[in-house]
Structure 1
Amino acid sequence: MATRNDRDNGRRSPARAARRLAGAAVTATLTATLVSVTTGPAEAATTCAGGVSIYGVLDDGRLTYSAINPATGDLAKVLVGQDLGFEPKAIATLNFNTVLVTSTSGALYRVDIRTNKDSLDLANAPVRIADSGWTHDKLTYDGHGHLYGTTAAGLLLRYNVTEAKPAGSQHIGARTEIDTGFVLKTLTATGDDRLTATTSDGRLLDYTISGANSWKVNKLKADGWSGFDQLVSPGGGLYYGRTSAGGMYWYKDANPTDGSGSDISYHLDDPVNTSGWSQKLLSAQPNTYTCTTSVDTVDRDNIAAVKDAGRKLMNDHESAWANSTQWSCLERLWDRESGWRWNAQNPSSGAYGIPQSLPGDKMDTAGDDWRTNPLTQIKWGLSYIDGRYGSPCAAWNHSESHGWY
């Protein structure tokens, strides 16, 4: 993001009831590594939709596919496919029928899925698209054109993915070294240039990545997450953690862009499964679950009301911004950019909305209603400012000196 152009309750089933009892039985053994907290209040006027698709690799090299009901945590489907034919090291799901897998020898393969409906079948043998150099210990794809990987030494790298089925370096390139110090136990993408990770000492971390040496980390939880050896997310604030014993637990962050873990709901008494997840690698398809905020809480054409909502959202996003100085900077910034109009569009560049996202659909990470909902646009804009500049006044100062932010 170095230039403006980059701104761009029903009845429980018997199986589920049994699972809940089993989960309660093991809760005591998990408390050393998984911290239970009181469920926080759900975000008002927010609706969520979509599904959860998770690919994995067993110890014997066979590919797996699992589907989970995001509303209940129920496991809906498990399919086991064929042996990939090489020893996998890291995995990242690009889309519903394309998975990237690295080998222990450093090769990169594209795995094409023919079907995952009633059986898990490949369209062809895994395609070797790079012979060497892919020695990452972790991979994850953010669903917005960026593939992330870490090395054992803690270097975080980002690559641009330009095709749904990349054939080689011509489609996976622009290698960027973000920074060192990313020695992580797990890593998953949760949105556009947004990563969530756990550490061996149990911290849950949220990263926003802008570019080389430009990133920000929020500590969602100080401890309690060391029990997971795999963490995946389909977006929308849903996290799934797999324990070394094969249990799968699920969590919901009511506002995944606020940099706070205080509103994460835990489901330790009702896990997806208490055992059985034996895959050594797991990867969720990104952006399959999304949440949107209703616009009926503010008149979108009433600029004063939109600004009032914007100030409240700014204060909630970061307590250090909850002052008149930061608000003055944000108000002036978006007065200049869009006049705080939800449908403002730059006729030359195509930048859209209150924060003038370019392209506009980058805001879909904050909600599917980004075209028409000023609250969704404001949330995305605050997250962008936070990740790129650190504060509204820093963004305003950059706009003053460069003419864009």
Structure 2
Amino acid sequence: MRNIRKPGRRVMGMLAAGVLSTGLLTAAAGGTAQAATTCSGGVNIYGVLDDGRLTFSSINPATGDLAKVLVGPDLGFEPKAMATLNFNTVLVTSTSGALYRVDIRTNNTSLALLNAPVKIADSGWTHDKLTYDGHGHLYGTTSAGLLLRYNVTEDKPAGSQHIGVRTEIDTGFVLKTLTATGDDRLSATTEDGRLLDYTVAGAGSWKSNVLKSAGWSGFNQLVSPGGGLYYGRLSTGAMYWYKDANPTDGSGSDITYHLDDPVNTSGWTQKLLSAQPGTYTCTTSTSTVDRDNITQVKAAGRQMMNDKDAAWANSTQWACLETLWDHESNWRWNATNPSSGAYGIPQALPATKMDVAGDDWKDNPLTQIKWGLSYIDGRYGSPCNAWNFWQANNWY
């Protein structure tokens, strides 16, 4: 939660012990509020060697240093694609189209299988790539470029009852690499060297951004633990790492390259690699906001909107949200409708609804914004849907 500064009092945000600070970002929308981004977590990468043995690698996300490598037993079948569900569970397809759940036990010194790989499906899983977003969605592509999405409802799926709702997103996804970077968010590289970013909403509903137009053709594996971190493996076995300061802005201009400090210059010989999703996270919080400074409040609001949903992190959705709350409250934390009693920036009715977002809902604009964004998400799906409804009904 961001700190709030009331007139005459300045409260500075403190970094929690053990987290990595990745610097300061300037909030958009013309505001001057600063946003401190703090990142924490680790990087776990599973792999399969040419001889079928499972591997586990741990990387320090702050330095890019390889912390651990463990080699385990042979899977017992020829793998084709893999996706890590969690620290102890990996999904792997075979060249014959079967889907297996691999249950893993690992510690500081060993990597073992808890049991023989569990066959979830006998056939049909002919995807050339798989990745899991850490939020219940498994993505796969076919050699023809069809992108598919499945719902995963269990940490240890046992069959189609736990991996189902097959959704065909669209065609045209002929990609060299594919990795999940967040909730329904994917990154990929192409044979001609582009680095792409995708946000997926459903069948036929997705958008893409070209983060880099060239220079990424050498990677035959790309994985991400989240938080804007990318790890790219070359055919030579070298592993390089990159950090996107704002992975939701659809721009690659803020990607930091560590070409002179790779994870390794050789040794990454796995035929398949898959990072555990969501193990590295970054949180952006406004260090100081004057609750009576509408410019600062709006700047914080835009950052919070971007963080709420990657699909909202664009100027179109921001224009809708800004205009909506301009009409409702002019972004004033103490705005009160004398007739209905609706209160605060989002004009909650009754006002006490906002207590679910924080005990300081009466005088903290950031708590009010947090509640308002959740309300919009749950009722309308996006700020623009909410604004469209408002224009038709004069309320939302």
Q: So what's the TM-score if we normalise by structure 2? A: 0.75
Structure 1 equivalent of residue 13 of structure 2: none
More helix by share: 1
SS in 2 for 1:219: strand
1:94 counterpart letter in structure 2: L
Contact 1:321 1:327 in 2 (8 A): no
> Is the counterpart of residue 154 in structure 1 residue 149 in structure 2?
no
Which residue number corresponds to residue 118 of structure 2?
127
Residue 322 of structure 2: which of 286, 305, 327 is its match? 327
Q: Choose which of 98, 114, 117 in structure 2 pairs with 1:107.
A: 98
State the secondary structure of the residue aligned to 1:45. strand
> Residue in 1 aligned with 2:133?
142
| Unmatched segments (≥5 aa) in structure 1 | 1-39, 355-371
Deviations 1:327-349 (A, max 9, x none): 3146558989995469999999x
Distance of 1:163 and 1:273 partners within structure 2 = 35
Counterparts in 2 of 1:322 and 1:393: CA distance versus 1, 3 Å: closer
Once the two structures are TM-superposed, the CA of residue 259 in structure 1 deviates from its matched residue by 0.8
Look up the match of 2:58.
67
Secondary structure of the 2:298 match is helix
2:198 maps to: 207
Deviation at 1:376, TM superposition (A): 10
Quick one: distance in 2 between partners of 1:345 and 1:152?
53
CA distance in 1, matches of 2:100, 2:36: 43
Aligned to 2:188, what secondary structure does the other structure show?
A: strand
Task: Give me the whole-angstrom Cα distance separating, in 2, the residues matched to 1:180 and 1:404.
Answer: 39
Q: Secondary structure at the match of 1:200?
A: coil
1:194 partnered with 2:185: yes
Distance 1:188 1:81 in 2: 23
Kept in 1, the 8 Å contact 2:286–2:300? The answer is: no
Distance in structure 2 (CA, Å) of the matches to 1:315 and 1:194: 13
The 8 Å contact of residues 157 and 178 in structure 1, kept in 2 or not, is answered as yes
Deviations 1:104-146 (A, max 9, x none): 0000000001224311011001100100010000000000000
**Compared with structure 1, are the counterparts of its residues 257 and 183 closer, same or farther at alpha carbon in structure 2 (3 Å cutoff)?**
same
3-state SS, counterpart of residue 396 of structure 1: helix
Greater mean alpha carbon deviation, residues 318-327 or residues 41-50: 318-327
SS of residue matched to 2:173: coil
Look up the match of 1:183.
Answer: 174
Separation (CA, whole Å) in 2 of partners of 1:351 and 1:136: 46
Picking from 115, 118, 130, the partner of 2:109 is 118
Structure 1 residues 171 and 345: CA distance shift in structure 2, 3 A:
farther
Alignment match of 1:293 (pick from 272, 284, 289) = 284
1:265 lines up with 2:256 in the alignment: yes
TM-superposed CA distance for 1:235, in Å, is 0.4
Question: Which one has the bigger strand percentage?
Answer: 2
**Shift of residue 45 of structure 1?**
1.3
Shift of 1:393: 4.2
The answer to whether the 8 Å contact 1:293/1:375 transfers is: no
How far did 1:198 drift?
0.6
Aligned to 1:83: 74
User: Which residue of the partner structure matches residue 366 of structure 1?
Assistant: none
Match of 1:173 among 144, 160, 164: 164
Give the match for residue 55 of structure 1: 46
Q: 1:139 to 1:116 in 2, by over 3 A?
A: farther
User: CA contact under 8 A between 1:195 and 1:206: conserved in structure 2?
Assistant: yes
Displacement of 1:47: 1.1
Q: Residue 77 of structure 1 aligns to which amino acid in structure 2?
A: K
Name the CA shift for 1:393/1:268 in 2 (closer, same or farther; >3 Å). same
Aligned match of 1:18:
none
Residues 330 and 106 of structure 1: CA distance in aligned 2, closer, same or farther (over 3 Å)? farther
Listed as ranges, the matches of 1:359-398 within 5 Å are 393=384, 396-397=387-388
Q: Bigger shift: 304-313 or 155-164?
A: 304-313
Contact preservation (8 Å) 2:325, 2:346: no
* d(CA) in 1 for partners of 2:43, 2:369: 23
**8 Å CA contact 2:104, 2:112 repeated in 1:** yes
Shift of 1:258: 0.8
Change in CA separation of 1:66 and 1:376 when aligned onto 2, cut-off 3 Å = farther
Q: Following the alignment from structure 1 to structure 2, what is the Cα–Cα distance between the partners of residues 167 and 299?
A: 52
Q: 1:399 to 1:169 in 2, by over 3 A?
A: farther
Cα 1:143–1:248 shift into 2, 3 Å: same
Q: How far apart are the structure 2 equivalents of 1:298 and 1:205?
A: 34
Give the letter for the 1:327 counterpart: E
Alpha carbons of structure 1 residues 377 and 262: separation in structure 2 relative to 1, 3 Å: farther
User: Is this contact kept in 2: 1:198–1:226, CA < 8 A?
Assistant: yes
5+ unaligned residues in a row in structure 2: which ranges? Answer: 1-21, 26-34, 332-336, 359-364
The alpha carbon displacement at 1:244 in A equals 0.8
- Aligned-pair RMSD on alpha carbons? 3.9
**Structure 2 counterpart of 1:10:** none
- Contact residue 137 and residue 149 of structure 1 kept, 8 A: yes
Give me the identity figure in percent.
Answer: 72
Q: Which residue of 1 aligns with 2:12?
A: none
Partner of 1:93: 84
Letter paired with 2:201 = S
